[in-house]
Structure formats: C-alpha cells, structure tokens
A = this chain, B = another copy of it.
Amino acid sequence: MTLDTPLHQLGLAEAARLIASGKITSEALVSACLARIAERETVVQAWSSIDPDYALAQARGCDTGPSRGPLHGVPIGVKDVLDTYDMPTEMGSPIYKGLRPAWDASCVALARAAGAVILGKTVTCEFAGMAPGATTNPHDASRTPGGSSSGSGAAVADFMVPLAFGTQTGGSVLRPAAFCGVMGYKPTFGTFNRAGVKFAAESLDTIGLIARDLEDLALMRAVLTNSEAVAPAMPQAQLRIGVCQTYLWHKAEPGARAALERAASAAREAGAHVEDFVLPPPFSELTATREILNNVERARSLAYEWTHHRSAISPALTRSIELGLATTDQQYRAALRVAEWCRLELDTLFGAFDVLLTPSANGEAPEGIAYAGDPSFQGLWTLLHVPTISLPAGRGPNRMPVGVQMIAPRYGDHKLLDAAHWLIARAGVHGLME
C-alpha cells in the first residue's frame, strides 16, 4: 500500500510505520476510521459501543506524547466480552447493560501499553455463544457475518479498523473471518492471557485476532507475548501440506470444497509436497466431545446469571446450559480425557506434515442474521488446542467469501504464520479476486 491508500484501509503494521515515521498522525488515521464507521455503521452495525470524541482524544494523546511502543497511535477493535476499564463491557447480554469493569483484560492492557488506541467495543453474540446481535455481513447485509466475534469480523472486513480482538470457543474467530473475507487467527490454546475475559467454556476459550494482513497478526501476536515482532518469513524447506477433509466433509458446500481444492492445487504447483491427511476414527467423536465441554462449562461459568437473571438468557443459551446441567460429571471428565488423548495423538500424526489445509467453514455466510453459522469445522481444531488461521480464498456460488483453514501443531504458531505467508505469496491464495 502507498500513501494513496485511503487511511482507513491501512493495515496495522503499515499504519504504525507511517505514524512512527511522521508521515501520518494517529488523529488522521482514527478520524478516517471514524468517518468510515459513520458512513457504514447503520448498515453493518459492528460496534456495541464507540465514542468518537474519546477515540480522538486517545489519538491526540499519542500524537503529542512519546512513542509508547510498536502499536503507537493505531486503532483496534475489542470484542465486547473482553474487559475495558474505560468503556462498557456488555457481553451481548441485557444482563450487563452499561457494565464498567474495574480493569482492562490482559490483551487490551498489553495493546494499550504498546500504544494502541482502543477505538471501541465490537458486537458479540450473547456471552460469546450462539445468539447474535444486529451485525450484518459487509459483503451482503442480508447475510450473517458469522459469530460470535461478529462485530470484529465485520468491522475489519469493512475497513473500519485494521485489527480486532475476538475469542473462539467453537468457531468464533475463524468463522466470522471466513464469512467476511478476512483473516482469522486462533493461536495455540493459552497463548494470549485470558485475564479479564468473561469465560464461556474455559477449557476451550481462546483469544484470537481478526485482520486483513498476515503481518498484522504477527505484530499483535508479538505485543501480546512480550516478543520482538518478526514478520512471517518464507519456510526454508519444502512445505509438507496435509489436505484434511475431516469427518465433516459431508457438511462442506461446493464453495468450500472448491476453495480447498484450488488452494491445494496451487500449493502443489508452487512446489509444496501435498497429500491427503486422514483423521483416524476416534477424532470423529470430537464434535460431540466439544459440545459436552461447551455445555457443561457454560452451565458452570454462568451459574450466577442462571440463578439471578434466567429470564434474560436467550433460548439458545438456555438450551446449552440445560444440556450442560443434564450431563454427568463422569461424562464431562470422560470428554476432557478424549480431548486430551486426541491432542497427543494429533502431535504424533502431524509427524510427516508441517501444516494441514482444511475448510474454514461449511461454505459461504448463510442468509439471514439470526443464525451465525455452524461451528463444526472450526470447533474441532479449537478443542485440539492447535494454532489455526483462516485465509480468504475466493468466492462461492453466491459471490460471498470462502476461506481455507491452515493448521499447525500445538506451539507451532510461527511455522503456521510462515506457511500462510508462503501460501499467499507463492501459491497465490490471497483474497477474494478470481
């Protein structure tokens, strides 16, 4: 991108460089993002709370003070299940209308300490679950943006902000990223500290990132892990890619199948070793296993809300909690053990592969905004605690975005970002245009 790029379209790292070199101001950048939001928000409805004057005040503070770090002056969005000390945190629930936490969530505090401007809070499904807000898909307002990080996906895709935080318990980062045609990254479980997150299901909840550029994911990852930012680099050796249809392939729609096949072919043509990767039979239990953990842990984590505010809980979440309460502790513990067994088994199965390629989601964003889509293709990997990224990989039959999902072994996040870089730069899997 160049200085001719409209400011609101700049990526996080690019904007940070331009601010650091004095070519643009934080105020100009934030103003451009706010103007974009003013223009589009009545349709997209990505933000649960945003205060333009306060955002601009933060930006002017950056412009007049010394650099605070690698994100100095750049705006980000924060999913509204993450605590912010200076903005409401309502979690998509009427129970917490207007709530002001006493602190910032760890990731928010670390981003702020590195200089980020917190532009506002993005719409979340109720408690990061299945009951969506009013956000629409920027590519077609009659369709869902996905969820539960609905606002984060839509705001980034609509160029309102270069990066936004999400959380993923099933498919809540990667699905909105895929449906909105941007990148979603869920790191290895536990990578980004969860202090200040309202838990959905603590053995699954993973903080992730939605952005338009790979470099931006790497930069924010470095900030949140107290590391030097290293831009993704080309892998040194031939990339060994396993194409994994998974036991869910019957759910993959033509657009998702075609995207995976295109990406696999392009990778093979560009020189990767590409072969099929089959998950052995025990893995086909994992959708049910994840549902057990999700329901039981939601029932426990929302025990206060269930006791005191039951009538304000949506039918979808009520059903999940009731299923959780009907599950025995023996069943829950058995599910934990199945998950752990499969995690270790996947470590072994990965042996001959650097990364896997699999569908990001069933297909294009479904019509309507009452249903945020099926989490199966993302939730499997959430349960397995592996790092995963969704890359935009063309459009489906309805001209809506479809993604491909790339997965690395646990703790292989750097390899994952490098492999994604290769797939974009060498194999040409890079967006929505074809």
**B residues within 8 A CB of A297?**
193
Chain B nearest CB: distance from A85 CB in Å?
Answer: 7
Given A190-B203, A329-B227: A302 and B336 within 8 A (CB)?
no
Q: Is the CB of B199 within 8 A of A300?
A: no
Q: Which of A181-207 contact B (CB under 8 A)?
A: 190, 193-196, 198-199, 202-203
Q: Is chain A's binding surface mostly helix, strand, loop or mixed? A: helix
Cβ of A424 < 8 Å from any Cβ of B? no
**B residues within 8 A CB of A299?**
226
Give the contact stretch, choosing among A96-104, A238-246, A399-407.
A96-104
Q: Is the CB of A411 within 8 A of B333?
A: yes
Q: Is the CB of B195 within 8 A of A226?
A: no
Q: Which of A285-339 contact B (CB under 8 A)?
A: 296-297, 299-308, 325, 327-329, 332-333, 336-337
A99 touches which of B102, B199, B300 (Cβ 8 Å):
B102
Among A96, A307, A327, max chain B CB count under 10 A is at A307
Cβ of A67 < 8 Å from any Cβ of B? no
Closest to A309 in B: B103
Q: Is the CB of A106 within 8 A of B301?
A: yes
Cβ of A112 < 8 Å from any Cβ of B? yes
Q: Is the CB of A195 within 8 A of B300?
A: yes
Chain B nearest CB: distance from A299 CB in Å?
Answer: 7
Cβ of A278 < 8 Å from any Cβ of B? no
Given A106-B301, A113-B303, A411-B337: A325 and B226 within 8 A (CB)?
yes
A103 to B99, CA, bound (A): 11
A304 touches which of B85, B296, B325 (Cβ 8 Å):
B85
Q: Which 4 residue pairs spanning A and B have beta carbons closest together? A: A195-B301, A109-B303, A193-B300, A109-B304
Cβ of A344 < 8 Å from any Cβ of B? yes
